[in-house]
């Protein structure tokens, strides 16, 4: 199926990314994507941009090279209460927020506590996506996580980079297969993300799509294939 958008991409502003927004937009256009989201790591990630960067998205045009540009962040969850590393006033001005657990921003807890952190993060209406819930370093209670995601209409991410041999995340294939099986029962819409840190990975979702196929996940529940899917993510209903 044709990919309509990729909302999980990083630029040089993340500190360990290698491409600019222009290069990422060029690649998105080349691959035929209609929409690109920029989601640089929040300020708590060593080397990433400060709050002033995330407050300056007014400089970014809504369309570059024919690709609609959405501005966001991959915020770091800082504690088990789901606190994020950017102020609400800044988060509110963005199109979307991905919330993720990252070393070294939060030390892994028990499965119950890690799950609490993600569920609490979802309570923030700006959080539209939970990034890479697939890592044995942060074990999760998938039943509880997915029930909460379904209730709050937050998209869980099938992260393409997690399946690359050099990923730091552990057992992502096994864990993704596990959570997709639960999510299928809930008919939970899921999002695919490249997590690109260099231009040529933008829109690169093959491994994630392979996971979807293996799980026999209904394609109509994969958000990336349509503008309606994008609307679903960006306009997540507030409670
Ligand atoms: Zn990164
Ligand atoms: Zn991440």
CA of 191 to the centre of ligand 1 (A): 18
Ligand nearest to the CA of 14: 1
Ligand 2 midpoint to CA 40 (Å): 9
Q: Which ligand is nearest to the CA of 8?
A: 2
Low pLDDT (below 70) residues in the chain: 237-239
Distance from C-alpha of 77 to C-alpha of 44, rounded to nearest angstrom: 9
How far is the centre of ligand 2, averaged over its atoms, from the C-alpha of 53 (Å)?
18
Position 46 in a domain: yes
Length reported for the chain? 239
75 Cα to the center of ligand 1, angstroms = 11
In a domain, 37, yes or no: yes
Structure confidence at residue 237 (pLDDT): 66
What is the DSSP code string of 156-169? EEEEGGGGSTT-SS
Q: Which ligand is nearest to the CA of 11?
A: 1
156 inside domain: yes
Farthest-apart Cα atoms in the chain, separation: 45
* Count of domains observed in the chain: 1
Q: Over the range 132-147, which residues count as b (16 or more CB within 10 Å of their CB) and which as e?
A: bbbbeebbbbbebbbe
Q: How far is the CA of 239 from the centre of ligand 1 (A)?
A: 31
Note whether residue 239 is domain-resident: no
Q: How far is 27 from 36, CA to CA, in rounded Å? A: 10
Q: How much is the pLDDT for 33? A: 98
Give the range of the structural domain holding residue 181, as residue numbers without chain letter: 5-234
Beta strands in the chain (DSSP E): 5-6, 35-41, 63-64, 67-76, 96-100, 127-130, 155-159, 190-193
Instruction: Give 222 Cα–ligand 2 centroid separation in angstroms.
Output: 20
The pLDDT value given to residue 236: 85
Q: Which ligand has an atom closest to residue 48 CA?
A: 1
CB atoms inside a 10 Å sphere around CB 174: 10
| Ligand closest to the CA atom of residue 103 | 2
Q: How far is the CA of 45 from the centre of ligand 1 (A)?
A: 8
Q: How far is the CA of 213 from the centre of ligand 2 (A)?
A: 23
Given phi > 0 = left and psi -120 to 50 = alpha, else beta, which region is 203?
Answer: left
Domain with residue 66: its CATH number is: 3.20.20.140
Is residue 44 a contact partner of residue 85, using CB atoms and an 8 Å limit? yes
Judged by its nearest atom, the ligand closest to the C-alpha of residue 16 is 1
> For position 107, what pLDDT does the model report?
98
Residues 147 and 182 sit within 8 Å (Cβ to Cβ): no
Q: Which residues of 196-213 are buried (b: 16+ CB within 10 A; e: fewer)?
A: bbbbebbbbbebbbebbe
**Who's near 231: CB < 8 A, 6+ residues apart?**
none
Give the number of whichever ligand sits closest to the CA of residue 131: 2
Identify whether 20 is part of a domain: yes
């Amino acid at each position: 199926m044709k990919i309509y958008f990729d909302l999980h991409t990083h630029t040089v502003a993340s500190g360990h990314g290698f491409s600019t927004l222009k290069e990422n937009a060029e690649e998105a256009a080349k691959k035929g994507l209609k929409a690109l989201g920029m989601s640089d790591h929040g300020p708590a990630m060593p080397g990433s941009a400060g709050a002033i960067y995330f407050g300056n998205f007014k400089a970014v045009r809504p369309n570059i090279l024919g690709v609609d540009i959405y501005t966001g962040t991959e915020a770091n969850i800082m504690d088990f209460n789901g606190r994020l590393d950017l102020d609400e006033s800044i988060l509110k001005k963005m199109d979307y927020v991905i919330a993720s657990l990252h070393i070294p921003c939060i030390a892994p807890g028990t499965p119950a506590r890690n799950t609490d952190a993600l569920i609490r993060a979802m309570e923030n209406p700006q959080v539209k996506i939970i990034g890479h819930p697939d890592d044995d370093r942060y074990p999760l209670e998938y039943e509880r996580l997915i029930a909460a995601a379904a209730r709050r209409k937050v998209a869980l991410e099938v992260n393409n980079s997690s399946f690359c041999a050099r990923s730091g995340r552990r057992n992502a294939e096994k864990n993704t297969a596990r959570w997709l099986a639960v999510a299928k029962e809930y008919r939970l819409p899921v999002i695919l993300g490249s997590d690109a840190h260099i231009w040529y990975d933008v829109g690169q979702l093959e491994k994630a799509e392979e996971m979807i196929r293996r799980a026999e996940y209904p394609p109509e529940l994969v958000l990336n294939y349509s503008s309606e899917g994008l609307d679903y993510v960006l306009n997540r209903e507030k409670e």
